[in-house]
Amino acid sequence: MSATTLHACILAARPKTLPAAIVPVWVGCVLAWKLTGHFDPGLAAATLGGAIAIQLATNFFNDAIDSRKGADTAGRLGPTRVTAAGLLSSHAVLAWACGFLLLACGCGVVLYHARGWPILAIGVPSLFLAYGYTGGPFPLAYRGLGELFVILFFGLIAVTGTVFIQSGDWPAAAWLLGMQIGLLSAVLISINNLRDRAEDATTGKRTLAVRCGHHVAVAVIALELTLAAAAGLAWGRCGHLPFAAASLPVIMLGWRLVRGVATQPPGPAFNRLLALGGVLLLLFAAVFQVAALR
């Protein structure tokens, strides 16, 4: 593989999006250990590998399909998309996507042998929606359902599934944590779609920001952050009050995100806000792990 091709593959992989795949597995394993006192590193590695592979497949599919649909134009404000820029052919990008799906299936086999049919119930829809997020007859990203998809699959399903894989159970605390992670991950999609609203409106990509307009899109970001922080109060009712401390980074950095999207016009500055949203997600996980040690 040439250096140019490797660079293009890294661009298509979108490394900055990987916290959305890593954090649900990270905090899910922490919560399962806190609840049961048990941690299986082999199952954790298979879960993390599968999550990252599905995220990478989604990114590669998105790159190729958006280019084919004309959604990535010369006026793009975000990072370079390799298919639209001609750095890789759409066939090559789709081949990489399918390769990552095969890797995810390999990880899923390990998990299936450990936990049985629930892994199929989680894994099969996740594998399909790696493509169906932007492709297929009902692409979620083009129907304004991106935020809902992220809350469900990168939050609730990813976290509760990780806890189930580690513990064999579906505790209420896992659903609470999954909702918090899902909302924080949805913030990233919401900022991304607000940044690209003008371009998406001209290419038929009917995201929530396109459908509802700038002011509603800003309000959605504020609501996602507010609900994620407020949900921390419920940890006391679950008997794990120290976990409420994980809401502190949301409170401390969330206002900067809301202020940024509310006062700055969509443009390259939103890329810095996206990076801050990724940092917020990682800080949430770090504080959550520290709280688990108490």
- The CATH number that applies at residue 131 is 1.10.600
Range 66-73 average pLDDT = 74
Q: What is the dihedral of CA 201, 131, 149, 86, to 10 degrees?
A: -40
Calpha distance 114→110 (Å, rounded): 7
Tokens of 228: 């994620």
**3-state percent helix, strand, coil for the chain, nearest multiple of 5:** 80, 0, 20
CA 38 → CA 24, 47, 181, distances in Å? Answer: 18, 16, 22
Contact assessment for residue 242 and residue 294, using Cβ atoms and an 8 Å cutoff: yes
Question: Chain centroid to CA 293: how far?
Answer: 26
Question: What value does the mean pLDDT of the chain take?
Answer: 92
Q: Which residue has the tokens 């609840």?
A: 35
Kindly indicate the confidence band of residue 209, based on its pLDDT and cuts at 50, 70 and 90.
Answer: very high
Checking if the pLDDT of 279 tops 80, the result is: yes
Range(s) of the domain holding residue 186: 3-292
Calpha distance 106→20 (Å, rounded): 21
135 closest CA partner among 68, 211, 55: 68
Contact assessment for residue 197 and residue 207, using Cβ atoms and an 8 Å cutoff: yes
Range 57-67 average pLDDT = 91
Q: What is the pLDDT of residue 71?
A: 64
Range 58-69 average pLDDT = 89
Write out the E strands in 32-171: none
Checking if the pLDDT of 74 tops 60, the result is: no
Q: Whole-prediction pTM value?
A: 0.94
> How many domains does the chain divide into?
1
Range 159-169 average pLDDT = 97
